Structure 1
């Protein structure tokens, strides 16, 4: 991170600028954002969130056909139970609240406790715990995979179902099924630095790529020399297909997401997508 003021207010300052820029879609609430567009009463509220520092996650997923609100914790840190509860209450329209987040221990604890508080007040609330990362099979929270790029797919399906007027149980089923059918694999070329820090959270040997690292620098499975676009594409696709869900239909369509996490340039992603599509 090169541009920052007071590191302790980095998230709040960034959210202020985000809400000014995209006021047609979002409006600020304490520790998050909610949709500024009209939302009908009785609609299921899809509330997503987690630690900040992963833009467009999570505030960027708020808008028509997507999430109704996002809870924004500190950089790479789970939002508190109170923050999740407050944002969910602001987003609630009487149809229940689906709380979506990646599979990390702090998020499971805080979103889970917030869901209990909502239920105690008579508001239907369920969790959508995203578990897509094949590199962390059995190593994430609760012995499952970590949640990384699969957030995009699961949240989009949940948001579309809620926008279409599905009832609460149907939205939950659609979202969880989307998660169950989603797998991802990532690589890293370098580590990231937190606002105000000089050293990266992790390092990758020059000329190499870390295979399967988590979005906060959690350990991957190997480190290999950077290959050609074709070699990288084949590595990623093969790893994802090796983790194919048991319930996936034979010969079914596959939706592909190539995601640079805001760091890898679009042109480089295009180089990867061509051999992915051909494979």
Structure 2
């Protein structure tokens, strides 16, 4: 294992200290916790909180700031944050109009965020939540009952964050979230496994000529291991699976997100996006919003994912809404 670290036990705290030092105009760390919060909150607006295990940077701390999250709770690598830290983040995010939680569908995250929600409500804070389950690869997997939450979660941050910044109520944001999440779909492919610093070896091993479709962001099994393919063939497989799920028709407006999993160069992500572009044209879809880059990684996993959001209402305006964050 080759990593630019000091002690494996210090990875999380030193990463968060470095992140907040580099971006101290935007975010701060709550001492001796995994909580990253905005430097400046706005009174009277709904606060947004998300989080999960670390190792997925820039998610979620990179999306804390005006127009997106009020706070992110960072657990140890691939480990859910504790309810007490989530509760503290809720308290920091509450600006008098309640707090909305964006939770990825992993058993630990769901349990701990919902426990913190109950504790916050006992202290008089109004809290609502949504569980993001955008990964169409498998129905049940390691750490998950139902579908996993992956890169599409960041589009949920973006749209709900814009709505909160516009001054919408907690009930409005809950309604928007319930309409939004079922329309966010993601599928990925891995070229290599991820190495957790404290473990020292990849969570799974693919041969030099192997890839695996549908691997999760913690290295959970996918749905097919096969031989290495061209970018065009990868795009055709992934878009084909998304089509079966979404059942779009020509003329539909969509948003696309190509997300790198940590060790895939932007060069390759752009090549893949170019192949997706051709397939979208063949399908007659109108791509109204597109983004390429690492937004939810899996440490040093090589691979990428494609998220497709079927647009409706004013969602495109919310995607384009200006933000001040580290990573958007």
What range is the shorter-chain TM-score in? over 0.9
Equivalent in the alignment of 1:81: 83
Unmatched segments (≥5 aa) in structure 2: 280-328
What is residue 253 of structure 1 aligned with on the other side? 253
Aligned counterparts of 2:86 and 2:60: Cα–Cα separation in 1: 13
Deviation at 1:11, TM superposition (A): 0.5
Q: Once structures 1 and 2 are overlaid, which stretch shifts more, 79-88 or 192-201?
A: 192-201
1:243 matched to 2:245: yes
Cα-Cα RMSD: 1.7
- How far apart are the structure 2 equivalents of 1:15 and 1:252? 41
Partners of 1:45 and 1:67 within 8 A in 2 = yes
1:228 aligns with 2:256: no
Distance 1:60 1:20 in 2: 13
Which is strand-richer, 1 or 2? 2
Q: Is the 8 Å Cα contact of residues 140 and 146 (structure 1) preserved in structure 2?
A: no
Q: Helix, strand or coil: the match of 2:184?
A: coil
Distance (whole Å) between structure 2 residues aligned to residue 218 and residue 142 of structure 1: 10
**1:10 is paired with a residue of what secondary structure?**
helix
Q: Do the aligned partners of 1:33 and 1:69 also contact (CA within 8 Å) in 2?
A: yes
SS in 1 for 2:113: helix
SS of 1:171's equivalent in the other structure is helix
Distance in 1 between the 2:202 and 2:143 partners? Answer: 24
Mapped to 2, the partners of 1:216 and 1:141 lie a distance apart of 9
Look up the match of 1:12.
Answer: 13
Residue by residue over 1:52-97, the C-alpha shift from the partner in whole angstroms, topping out at 9 and shown as x without a partner, is 0100111111111111110000000000110100111112111111
Change (3 A) 1:220 1:150: same
1:270 aligns with 2:270: yes
- Residue number in structure 2 paired with 1:108: 110
TM-score, structure 1 normalization: 0.94
Contact 1:50 1:107 in 2 (8 A): yes
State the aligned residue count. 276
Contact 2:258 2:273 in 1 (8 A): yes
Q: CA deviation at 1:263?
A: 1.9
Say which of 197, 209, 212 aligns to 2:211.
209
Worse-matched range after superposition: 103-112 or 143-152: 143-152
Following superposition, the deviation at residue 197 of structure 1 comes to 3.1
* 1:227 CA drift (Å): 1.1
After superposition, the C-alpha distances for 1:152-192 in whole angstroms (9 at most, x for unaligned) are 11111111110111011111222232211000001111111
Distance 1:196 1:119, change over 3 A: closer
Q: State whether residues 208 and 224 of structure 1, in contact with CA within 8 Å, keep that contact through their aligned partners in structure 2.
A: yes
1:15 match: secondary structure: helix
Alpha carbons of 1:241 and 1:140: their partners in 2 closer, same or farther (altered >3 Å)? farther
Q: Which residue of 2 aligns with 1:35?
A: 38
CA distance in structure 2 between the aligned counterparts of 1:263 and 1:154, rounded to whole angstroms: 24
Give the aligned partner of residue 316 of structure 2: none
Structure 1 spans left out of the alignment, 5+ residues:
none
Q: 2:150 aligns with which of 133, 148, 151?
A: 148
Matches within 5 A, 1:33-72: 33-37=36-40, 39-72=41-74
Is the contact between residue 154 and residue 176 of structure 1 (CA under 8 Å) also seen in structure 2?
no
Q: Post-superposition shift, 1:249?
A: 8.2
Q: Work out which structure has the larger RCO, using CA pairs closer than 8 Å and 6 or more positions apart in sequence.
A: 2
Q: Distance in 1 between matches of 2:135 and 2:90?
A: 27
> 1:36 deviation in Å?
1.1
2:158 and 2:17 mapped to 1: Cα distance? 24
Q: Is the Cα–Cα contact under 8 Å of residues 16 and 34 in structure 2 kept in the other structure?
A: no
